[in-house]
């Protein structure tokens, strides 16, 4: 079974090595306690459990996302709000989601790139449950619309503060709006 794109936004937090092996051993000994949630025929929540079932040669148990539930809100609640993610990690996931949705276009302004609909700091603060300061930095990064900057933040090569500084530099260079 394939992984839903919304679930894949959290791939950087997947279990690996001994942690995944430990989960597989637990499933083999005690069974799968929490079903794997699917949506549109793909795994929306439970990718680690699915992988562990494969290792343990255990039969996965699936449930479908309940009708009427928003897939993003579900996967966000099951991952972002359940895990101990830093504000920078939450922002990185949001930026990847914007990219996935086509809410940004790649390319510097002189190359035809543009900002389609970046969220406001207020929206980010509310959606990610982060401080106003972190949300403001996130909004600046979203407006900068620089794929390399998003990748650097996602891969933890830069901090949220540094990413915001770089976004400001891009603003000054390209005239990106800071509103």
The answer, yes or no, to whether residue 115 has pLDDT greater than 80, is no
Residues 27-55: what's their mean pLDDT? 96
- Distance from the Cα of residue 168 to its chain's centroid: 23
The answer, yes or no, to whether residue 155 has pLDDT greater than 50, is yes
Rounded to whole angstroms, the maximal C-alpha distance in the chain is: 59
The first and second tokens of residue 2, run together, are 């394939």
* pLDDT per residue as tens digits for the range 47-101: 999 999 999 999 999 999 999 999 999 999 888 877 789 999 999 999 999 988 8
The SS3 call for residue 97 is helix
């Amino acid at each position: 079974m394939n992984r839903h794109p919304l679930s894949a936004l959290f791939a950087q937090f997947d279990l690996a090595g001994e942690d995944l092996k430990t989960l597989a051993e637990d499933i083999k000994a005690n069974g799968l306690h929490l079903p794997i949630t699917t949506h549109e025929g793909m795994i929306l929540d439970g990718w680690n459990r699915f992988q562990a079932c494969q290792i343990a040669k255990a039969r996965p148990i699936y449930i479908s996302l309940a009708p009427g539930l928003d897939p993003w809100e579900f996967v966000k609640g099951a991952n972002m709000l359940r895990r101990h993610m830093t504000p920078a990690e939450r922002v990185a996931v949001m930026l990847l989601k914007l990219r996935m949705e086509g809410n940004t276009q790649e390319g510097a302004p002189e190359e035809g790139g543009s900002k389609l609909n970046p969220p406001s700091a207020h929206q980010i603060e509310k959606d990610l449950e982060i401080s106003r300061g972190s949300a403001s930095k996130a909004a600046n990064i979203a407006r900068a619309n620089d794929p390399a900057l998003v990748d650097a933040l996602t891969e933890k090569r830069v901090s949220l503060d540094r990413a915001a500084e770089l976004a400001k530099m891009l603003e000054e260079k390209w005239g990106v709006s800071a509103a």
